Amino acid sequence: MMRTSRRSFLKIGAVGGLGLVFLPAVKGFAGSGALRDAAGAGSAVGRKWAMVVDMQKCWERGAECRDCILACHRAHNVPEIPDPEEEVKWVWTERFEHAFPEQVHEYLAEHLRDKPFLVLCNHCENPPCVRVCPTKATFKGDGGLVMMDYHRCLGCRYCMAACPYGARSFNFRDPRPYLRELNPAFPTREKGVVEKCNFCTERLEEGLPPACVEACPAKALVFGDLDDPSSEVRRILSASYTIVRKPELGTRPKVYYVINPGLGNSGGR
């Protein structure tokens, strides 16, 4: 079979499989620190996870800050493969015009057009990746998380074609030789399987916030329970103007971005 690069494959299937899926009744999490309700820390049932990203706070840290990305990739044994066509990533940055193409117009401020935005799996409420997976290796878990069972993954990459956010990576080679350090608490993957952000479900089960949230020194990332009116995410969403990526597709992403007046006018990035 002809070998197809990540970029070529995504171009071929970028518009495929954008149908809606039926969901179980799920709900979410507490604030940007430890779980608000310690008694329920080990269970996602009755919650609806979501994340809010304030890029202005992130930019104020400067271009050298990659604490959240490094924390995520170390926690989940994400390999550092130098070839961009074979890159594996769970959290990364995209320029505004690539992350939010529907927001771009000819008069958009240049300083905003080129700004990097943190992106990751959106854990959509209507995830097209779940619908197209032939083996149910991708499925909806408790708390609305879009999960993966690596043992069920055939490497067909239908989920990659269906995902409109480019949030999934394929292991073109054995990733283990490309690990700088091994986290024995999280499984490594094999050649031929897809992987992505899991919103740190293994940490949520222990009552801990996602690794990226915990590592962010600027508190630019907030994780919480959308169904809890007193949660930090609900407070921010109620008080701020926020956007999501490609809302016109009907996937209903659960990663929100705070848009402040004068966004991008300051900061080092």
How confident is the model at residue 262, as a pLDDT? 62
pLDDT at residue 4 is higher than 70: no
Tell me the CATH class for 6-258. Answer: alpha beta
Say how far apart CA 168 and CA 170 lie, in whole Å: 7
Alpha-carbon distances, residue 50 vs 38, 102, 254, 256, 260 (angstroms): 18, 22, 5, 8, 19
Find all residues with CB under 8 Å of 87, minimum gap 6, and list them.
6, 81, 169
Do the beta carbons of residue 222 and residue 32 sit within 8 Å? yes
Whole-angstrom Cα distance, residue 69 to residue 202? 17
Q: Is 244 helix (H, G, I), strand (E, B) or coil?
A: coil
Predicted TM-score of the model (pTM): 0.82
Helix, strand, coil % in the chain, rounded to nearest 5: 30, 15, 55
CB 78 within 8 A of CB 72: yes
Domain segments of the chain as ranges: 6-258
Report percent pLDDT > 90 for the chain.
Answer: 72
What are the pLDDT digits (tens) for 16-40? 443 333 333 233 333 333 333 322 3
- What band does 110 get if pLDDT is binned at 50, 70 and 90? confident
| pLDDT tens track for 61-89 | 887 789 999 999 999 999 999 999 999 99
